[in-house]
Structure formats: structure tokens, C-alpha cells
Structure 1
Amino acid sequence: MERIEHWHQQWAPLLDRVFGYWPGIVAFTGLVLAIVMMSHAVMNKRDARAAAAWTGLIWLVPFVGSFLYLLIGVNRIHRRAQQLVAEGLAQDADPYPVVQPRPADQHLHSMAELAGRLTGLPLLPGNNVTPLEAPDALAAMISAIDAASESVYLATYIFGNDAAGRPVIDALARAVQRGVQVRVLIDGMGSLYSFPTVMRRLRRRGVPATRFLHSIAPWRMPYMNLRNHRKVLVIDRAIGFTGGMNLRAGYISDPPTTRDLHMRVEGPVVGHLMRSFAADWQFSARETLPVEYIGPLVCGPVLARGISAGPDADIGKRRMMLLAAIGSAQHEIRIMTPYFVPDQTLLTALQLACLRGVRVELMLPGRTNIRMVHWAALHLLPWLVNDGCALYFSAPPFDHSKLMTVDGTWAMLGSGNWDARSLRLNFEFDVECYDPALADRLNRVMEQHRQAARRVSLAELQQQPYLKRLRNAVAFLLEPYL
């Protein structure tokens, strides 16, 4: 008791003095924290709008803005990506590969060479690419897993513990029982879309699985805003599946609540799918997998190349690919995407394409599952439609397909969207393809969707009530975060 009284007599005056100045101490701490966070943002953000947006949030919402920037605004992946390269996953890639063979259309040669320089990967002949609607794709994937004899590598953003995910788990478990090497990678954030998550079910069935950038402890989750959005399945290092489809029951419900397009890939470009999966698996599980393609060298007529993009060493690659494709177009650009909030450079490139006589056709869902993104898109679409873009809103169900074709020859399919998240924050995987027959098939898919879609005029966009237009403009201000 005497010791407590002595402590109180010794420290009470000092504590009283400190508490007397607490407003100043809090203000000074907030000022220092804001300066440090702002300095990091302006020094490290490549996009001036993102730097400005974070700076505004840091200063306008003291402490909270700094905490949010520290939690989701700092890219901590780039240094680890350099370590992965040093460990040998990409050492055999030529940084300036010769494009062999070249696309048949001469005006696409420069784009093919640009993609080679961006990715360090060659354009590969002899591939076959088969687009599949989601229910057919899910059935084909399960059948391929059941036929696997050597290996099954599966990466997905969302793996539902539902009517779509459980049959896949059953097929994976059967493969494990046959002695097949099975590896499953699920995004840490995407795994939370289902409760309970599939992780316990996978492990209970003996399926080796891990999550990408996941921790249940918030203070150990510095990557909350960086997500592995790739969807890749490789069977026996010879057959691949990739595209935009998650493993969710909405794709196969009756009636379906979501539409999507996935593709079965055969040929040497499957090796690019394996490289992408192997890098992500090594990052997450610290295990090195073989990346050599062992299937037939000639499976079809398609020239193809895998394009990995993300906030690591691959930052900016997808955006540059889109700019190159738009700039190379001479006759027609067709785009189907669920989320369309491009940055100013991409929007301007599309406007210039319209103004130089290229037909630009854009198909978006009439209603999306993320309303904020749809509102932001409604704010910028009038400028694009005013310059000649043909805009369509597809009918329900929600269309999650991601396609782009140029001049009836080039196509890109994969997991990437046209928004800030896919262009700067997500890890994405797409495949570029040079083949008129494939591009024609994809164009016919879009035409079928267009038959049930609604053409949207400039007048309709401009005649929205004032409060809705204000809502859209405010949502667009959040574009760097969407």
C-alpha cells in the first residue's frame, strides 16, 4: 500500500501534465503520421490519381485514413516477387523473345512483339482453345480431373462450399486416392465468400490446399487489398482450363443467377498456365513444382500466349496489352466485361479508336453484383457513347464473361476486368490468341448475348435524374479503390 502511494505521489503530477496536453499530443501524432503516410503514397504510387486520392483520405480523415492506407494501400508484394524470380521460376524466359511465327495479319505484328517484350514469353503455335459456357466448363473440368493420371493444379478466386464446389472436391479427392499429385490454391479473401469455407472439407478429404495471402489475424494481413483473381486448372501438364469462372453454385442453379465463359486449352501454351500457377504456389506453399509442358506440340491452329499481371513484377502489363490492342485495331473492337471503370488513358484510347472510324462495341451487364462499380461506369459511359461507341446492357442473369476481340483475328480471354482492381491490384491471368476462327466464334457468342441485350443511347444516359447522376459521379471518385 505504501509503495502504491509512493508511486502515485511520484508520477501523478507528470500524468496530470501529460493529460493536460493530450489534445496537442494527439494532433502532433496525427500530423506526423499523415506526413509519413502521404510521403509514402506520393513516392510509391505510379498513378497520380491514386496518390491524390490516398493523400486526400489521409488528411481529411485523420488516423483512419492513415490506418486504411497502411492496411490496404501499401504494396508489399513487389519485393517478394523479386525473390521468386531469383529462385529460378522465370530465369529461362528471354526478355526479348523473337515472335515465331508471326500473326497472319501484318498490322498485328507490332502488338505481338510488344506482348513478347512485356511477358518475356514467346507466342506459341499449335494450340486449340475451346470456349465453354459455365455449366459445360464445370462438367469438363470435373471430367478432366477424373481422367488425370499425373498431376492436377487448380487455382481459383472463389471456391464455393456448395453444389458447384463439392463435386470438384469429390473429383480432387478421387485423384488423390489414385496417387495423382494434386495442388489447390484459393485466394485468401475469395475463400471467405463461402461459410464454412472449403478448406476444412478439402483437408478432411486429403486434398493438399492452401490460401494465397491469408491470415485470420488482421494485424498479420497486410495484403487485404491484393487478391489472386486467377482461375487456372492444369491436368497432367498437358490440358488447361482458364477464364473468368469461379466455382460457385450460381452458375449451375436453375435458373442460373450468373453467366460466364471459360475455356479449355490444349497445346504448348498450357506451359504458360503452369508457370503462373507454379509461381503462385511457390509463393504460398514454399514448394517448387515442375513447369515443363509434356503434351502434344500441335493440337490446333491457334497462336497463343499467357499474360500474367499483378501488383508485383508484372504490374502494368495488362493495361499496356489493352492499350496495344486498341491502338492496333483497324476495323472493330468488341468488349464484354462485367466491370468497366477504365482509367483515363484507356478511356481516351477507346474514344480515339471511335473517332478514327473503328467500330467499338461494349457489352456490360444491365445490373451488376457490385452496384458502386456500375454507378461509376454510368458516369463515364456518356463520353464514350458520344464519340460513337455502341453500348449494350445485357439481360439477366448477371453476365460475368470477360472477352475482347480485335479485327476478327485477335482475342483475349481470362480473369481480368476493366477496372482499377484488375489493372493495378489483382493478380490476373489472360490468354491472347491469334486465330480468325476462334475470334469469329467468340464474336458469335457476343452476338448471341446481344440479341437479348438492350442498346443504350446517349440521351438515355444523359437524361438520368440529377440525384442519380450525382450518385454516379461520387462513385466515380472512388475509382482508384474499386
Structure 2
Amino acid sequence: MNFITILVTSIFILNFFMAGAVIFLERRDPSATWAWILVLFLIPLVGFILYLIFGQNLTKKRLFFWEDYKKIGVNQLIEEQTNLLAQNKLPLRTREAEIHRDLIYLSLTSNNALLTQDNEIDIFTDGRDKFNRLFHDIREAKDHIHMQYYIFRDDEMGKKLIDLLTEKAKQGVTVRILYDEMGSRRIRKRSFNKLIKAGGMVEVFFPSKIPFINLRVNFRNHRKLVIIDGKIGYVGGFNVGDEYLGLNKKFGYWRDTHLRIQGNAVHAIQIRFILDWNQASNRHDIYYEEKYFPKTFHSGKIPIQIVTSGPDSEAEHIKNGYIKMITSAKKSILIQTPYFIPDASILDALRIAALSGIDVQIMIPNKPDHMFVYWATMSYIGELLKVGAKVFIYDNGFVHAKMIVVDKNAASVGTANIDVRSFRLNFEVNAFMYDGPTAEKLVEVFEKDMEVSRELTYEQYLQRPIIIRFKESISRLLSPIL
């Protein structure tokens, strides 16, 4: 009895000090603080272990450093663009860029997101189309292929891609693959043995230092990037695997959005890859070489900023960009996201927009990818339905697209969902585009998806069973740490 008393007392004291650390040392968002305190005291010992794994804070750690960053002149270009924008003297090639000058300034000054205005974009919404084009570009590669994915499956698609990359490595093309350990936990590095034997290089982001235990598992590199010869860049929602071709029976057809970019925005994508690669690599660091940033003239006319965010940063750059887009809208806001768990700032911005008469439309999947996240999503959806927003449930499989379009004049596509994890815990990357024709193409994509979706009305939402309301309440309570 004395032993049990001592154990219970020790756990209580430990929880007390952990709660104090969460409150006074971590300085988290209040909602996340309360969620962790709830977990610590409701499941004392397990809660402590969960906090050690999922509750770490990276905001004070500098993870990415690349001295050669200065050699490509980016710092100078950022300073010049900042000064010109502040003086209203930077020539902007599109009317849409002029409209969103303040958003451009925000991302430039807070995230060093250089504006490039010579880009051309191809939009992919089908996995087969995206991978057919990617495989074609890989076959045409002459110098290097840089590839980064959150999920890399060891299935038929993954094997075909590794085989093709192995062929290119044998031809003398430099091949680098970076994948996230948590997202790609089902693949082993030995799956890349033939690629490595052919000269390819493979690294893992935040690998486990102890077998089966990873204290950084909560911080996932959710980015999906490909750079080919420094001239072609891919960014968007598709990972590597058969499911992204619609071959998974659970999800069915996989609807995502991915961009193929040509122009100087590719240099920004290249920089992001190099920073991530050098952080993960102890043996294959990338140093400055002109071939990674070729000076080529491109006739594209689309202004783009590549904006990144992660848990190592004090600011939530992509979320701030979303809020700025929402608050600038005058007519319409279209959002596609597989998970909708906004914090108070995003939720208030959307609520105010809807109450102001702006046409707010949100499209979400009809099936859960992660159960708690799905029920939390439905709880927040109800709040927007109440103020007049329109919600569509995608019924043709699983919609995984991360897209926002405002007023048919600006859009963002990338890897960041509308949820707390993407804003605060994941390493993400989005392309912000200021071009009417591009925005209108994405609106057309949304409207085509509406044909295989059903609208969820507020009246229908109110009729959900009590058990569903209970699941929503519990999931919403935990949403700040999902």
C-alpha cells in the first residue's frame, strides 16, 4: 500500500511540474496548453509519455542553415524587392499582383519569399496525369533530380520510380531522395539499395536515433517537392504510392492538386530542398554550384511566391498568408482541404467573411483519413454553416487537395492543410499565385468537383445523431494537439 501511495504521489508531482513547464516555459497557444494539461491529468503516466513524444517545441531551434545561400544573391534580391515594394516602385506584371501587393510584402518580409514573375504553371488533379508527366521529365533530366516526399511507398508505383531513378543515376545524373521517417514508416532504406549502388543518394528527415522510438515524431516534413535540372519544379499534395493513382479500395479515386512550375520560382523550390537536404544529411551536403540555379529566360508571366513554414519558426507563415487572402476577399473564397481544424484566427476570418456576404465555399472528403481529425473537422464545419458558408462533401473518392482561391484573382496550392498541425507542427510549402487565368482554372476545377459532391446544409447538420455530436465534442477538445 505504501508503494502504491508513493507511486501515485510521484506521478501527481511529476504531472504538476510538467503542467508548469507547459504553462510557463513553453508559452504555447492557450488552446494547446489546455489540451495538454487535460491529457496530463486524465491519463497521468501515459500523458507524460505522450508529452515527451508529441509535446516538444522546436521554435527556438535553428534547424536550417546554408552559408552558400548568399552566393546566389537571394539576400540582395530580397532587400531590393522589399525596398521597392515599400516605396510602391516594384513593377508588377499582373493586375492581380497589384491587388495583392500587401500580401506579397507580408510573405517577402516575414518569410523571405522572393516574388518571381516569369513563371508558367501546369495544374494536375489526377495522379496518373501527374506521374506520367513527372516520369517524362525524369527521363529527360540531364544533370540532377532532387526529390522530397512525405510518403514514399514500397509498392508498384514506388518501385517503378526507384527503377527509373536508378537508370538515370547509371547515366550519370545526380539523384537525391529525401523522405520523412514518420510519413514513410512502411519503407526501409534497403528499398533504395540498387539506387544507392548506382550512385544515388537517399536521406531521411528526423530519423529515429533509438530503434522504434522517435522523440521528434510529432514534427513531420510534409513537403512534396521535385526539382529537375534546376528548370522544372513540382509542388502539391500527391505523395508516392499506388493509392495516389486511385488503387486503394478504402479511399477509391484520389483527388489532389499538384503544380508543375517552370520559371525562376523553381530556384525558390530548389533552395527549400537544399535546406531540408542539408539538415538531414551528414555526408552529402549540397554546396553552391551554378547548375542548381541555371540562368534561363522563360516567357511565362505568372507571379509566384514560394512560402514555407515549420515548427522551428516563430511565425506561421502559410497561415498568415491564408488569413491575408481571406480578409482581402470581396466576392468569393473557395477552399479545398482534407482536414478542416482552423485555429481561432482562421475561423474568425472565415466567419466574418461569410457574415459580410462573401461567398465562402468549402469542400471536404466524405470519409475519414484519420478518425479524430474527421470528427473535429465536422464540428468546425457546423460553425461556418451557421453563418451562411456553403459546404460540399466530395463523394467521388477522397479529396486531398490543399487549395484556396479568392475573388478569382489569387490562389494558393501546396502541402498545407487548413489545420493546426499544418500551421504549427509540420514543415510545409505552398505556392502563392497572383494571376487571374490561373485562379480561374482552379475555380473551374472546384466547380467540376462540385458535380460529384453534395451540399451539406445547416438543417442537415443539426439532424446528426447524438453519438456523432459526442464524437465531435471529444475530437474538438483534442484538436489543438491532433
TM-score (norm 2): 0.90
- Which residue of 1 is the match for residue 57 of structure 2? 75
Secondary structure of the residue aligned to 1:79 is coil
* 1:237 Cα deviation after fit: 0.9
Secondary structure of the residue aligned to 1:85 is coil
For the pair 1:263 / 2:259, whether they are aligned, the reply is: yes
Aligned equivalent of 1:129, options 103, 110, 121: 121
For the pair 1:223 / 2:216, whether they are aligned, the reply is: yes
* 1:206 Cα deviation after fit: 4.3
Residues in 2 aligned to 1:76 and 1:47: alpha-carbon distance in whole angstroms:
14
- Which residue of 1 is the match for residue 237 of structure 2? 244
For the pair shown, the structure with the greater C-alpha radius of gyration is: 1
Deviates more, 1:329-338 or 1:248-257: 248-257
Aligned residues: 461
Residues in 2 aligned to 1:296 and 1:422: alpha-carbon distance in whole angstroms:
34
Secondary structure of the residue aligned to 1:190 is coil
Deviates more, 1:93-102 or 1:175-184: 93-102
Could you give the per-residue CA deviations for residues 121-157 of structure 1, whole angstroms, max 9, x where no partner exists? 3211000111012211111111111111111100001
Letter of the aligned partner of 2:227 in structure 1?
A: V
* 1:471 Cα deviation after fit: 1.2
For the pair 1:156 / 2:149, whether they are aligned, the reply is: yes
Letter of the aligned partner of 1:369 in structure 2?
A: D
Secondary structure of the residue aligned to 1:364 is strand
Letter of the aligned partner of 1:111 in structure 2?
A: L
Could you give the per-residue CA deviations for residues 67-115 of structure 1, whole angstroms, max 9, x where no partner exists? 211111112474142xx33745479434782444335244422112112
Equivalent residues of 1:161, 1:196 under 8 A apart = no
Equivalent residues of 1:239, 1:295 under 8 A apart = no
Deviates more, 1:233-242 or 1:131-140: 131-140
For the pair 1:110 / 2:108, whether they are aligned, the reply is: no
Alpha-carbon distance change, 370 to 179 in structure 1, aligned in 2, over 3 angstroms: same
Deviates more, 1:59-68 or 1:222-231: 59-68
Deviates more, 1:166-175 or 1:87-96: 87-96
Aligned equivalent of 1:101, options 87, 91, 96: 91
For the pair 1:450 / 2:450, whether they are aligned, the reply is: yes
Letter of the aligned partner of 2:286 in structure 1?
A: T
Superposition pairs of residues 276-295 of structure 1, within 5 angstroms: 276-286=272-282, 287-290=285-288, 293-295=293-295
Residues in 2 aligned to 1:315 and 1:138: alpha-carbon distance in whole angstroms:
34
Equivalent residues of 1:50, 1:480 under 8 A apart = yes
Could you give the per-residue CA deviations for residues 344-389 of structure 1, whole angstroms, max 9, x where no partner exists? 2211110101111211111111113222212111112122012111
Secondary structure of the residue aligned to 1:263 is strand
Equivalent residues of 1:71, 1:222 under 8 A apart = yes
Residues in 2 aligned to 1:51 and 1:34: alpha-carbon distance in whole angstroms:
14
Could you give the per-residue CA deviations for residues 371-417 of structure 1, whole angstroms, max 9, x where no partner exists? 22121111121220121111101112111111111111101000110
**Which structure is higher in RCO with an 8 Å CA cutoff and minimum separation 6?**
2
Could you give the per-residue CA deviations for residues 267-316 of structure 1, whole angstroms, max 9, x where no partner exists? 00101101111111010003134485315333311000101111013641
Report the aligned-residue RMSD.
2.3
Alpha-carbon distance change, 62 to 201 in structure 1, aligned in 2, over 3 angstroms: farther
Residues in 1 aligned to 2:27 and 2:51: alpha-carbon distance in whole angstroms:
12
- Which residue of 2 is the match for residue 36 of structure 1? 17
Residues in 1 aligned to 2:157 and 2:117: alpha-carbon distance in whole angstroms:
34
Residues in 2 aligned to 1:295 and 1:233: alpha-carbon distance in whole angstroms:
19
Alpha-carbon distance change, 187 to 315 in structure 1, aligned in 2, over 3 angstroms: farther
TM-score (norm 1): 0.90
Aligned equivalent of 1:168, options 148, 161, 180: 161
Residues in 2 aligned to 1:289 and 1:397: alpha-carbon distance in whole angstroms:
43
- Which residue of 2 is the match for residue 187 of structure 1? 180
- Which residue of 2 is the match for residue 7 of structure 1? none
Equivalent residues of 1:125, 1:298 under 8 A apart = no
Equivalent residues of 1:176, 1:182 under 8 A apart = yes
Superposition pairs of residues 3-402 of structure 1, within 5 angstroms: 21-42=2-23, 43-76=25-58, 78-81=60-63, 84-85=64-65, 87=67, 89=69, 92-93=74-75, 94=78, 97=82, 98-99=84-85, 100-102=90-92, 104-105=95-96, 106-132=98-124, 133-194=126-187, 198-200=191-193, 202-203=195-196, 206-215=199-208, 217=210, 221-253=214-246, 257-286=253-282, 287-290=285-288, 293-313=293-313, 315-402=315-402
Alpha-carbon distance change, 295 to 462 in structure 1, aligned in 2, over 3 angstroms: farther
Unaligned runs of 5+ in 2: none
